[in-house]
Amino acid sequence: MQMEIYIKAHTHAAPLFVGIIFGCLAVRRHRLSRRLQAAAWTLATAVALAALLGVRTWTVGRLPERLESAFFAALHRAAWGIGVGWVMYACATGRGGYVTKILAWPVFYPLGRLSFSVFLVHLIVLATNSVLSRELIPLQSFLHVRLPLSLSGYL
């Protein structure tokens, strides 16, 4: 299931295109009225929360209806992309207000540096793990899938 759905590139197309659209809007610097900004904040928050909390029915043990599952599967990635994309767009163009101040708080600097450091060191850890392996790994092992995919992220 993991390989059939999550890893495929086309399943990530919706948030990619949402990000491209927000990037183009940020470059063009469109003027937005206060009312439109408030509507965008409300919409972005609503769709991001819907994507985040949409799995609540699964976590309580109830299987959702088929139509509900289809809508969620089709739209949750784009919805999350819209929520995150608006926050990034608003902060980058000076429309973030308190959100920009919170995200620019110096307490978050070490977390940003730490995540970038983990990204840089990750390749060394993967390569060391692969080189130091002294045992035969079964062909159906998840490691055969994880390592090439992890290493291809650096290309």
pLDDT digits (tens, 9 = 90+) for 12-31: 788 889 999 999 988 987 78
Per the CB < 8 A criterion, the answer to whether 82 and 15 are in contact is no
7 band by pLDDT with thresholds 50, 70 and 90: low
Taking residue 32's Cβ as centre, other Cβ atoms within 10 Å add up to: 16
CA dihedral sign of residues 12, 13, 15, 19: positive
User: Per residue in 37-63, pLDDT tens?
Assistant: 999 999 999 999 999 888 887 777 788
Q: What are phi and psi of 13, to 5 degrees?
A: -70, -40
pLDDT at 138 over 70: no
pTM of the model: 0.68
Q: Which segments of 54-108 does DSSP mark as H helices, in order?
A: 56-59, 66-92, 98-103
78 CA to centre of own chain: 10
Question: Other C-beta atoms within 10 Å of 48: how many?
Answer: 19
**Taking a C-beta distance cutoff of 8 angstroms, is the pair 21, 49 a contact?**
no
Instruction: Give the pLDDT score at 119.
Output: 75
- How far is Cα 43 from Cα 26, in angstroms, rounded to an integer? 18
Say which range, 43-57, 70-84, 124-138, 140-154, has the weakest mean pLDDT.
Answer: 140-154
For the stretch 74-123, pLDDT in tens is 888 999 999 999 999 999 988 888 999 998 899 888 888 888 787 778 77
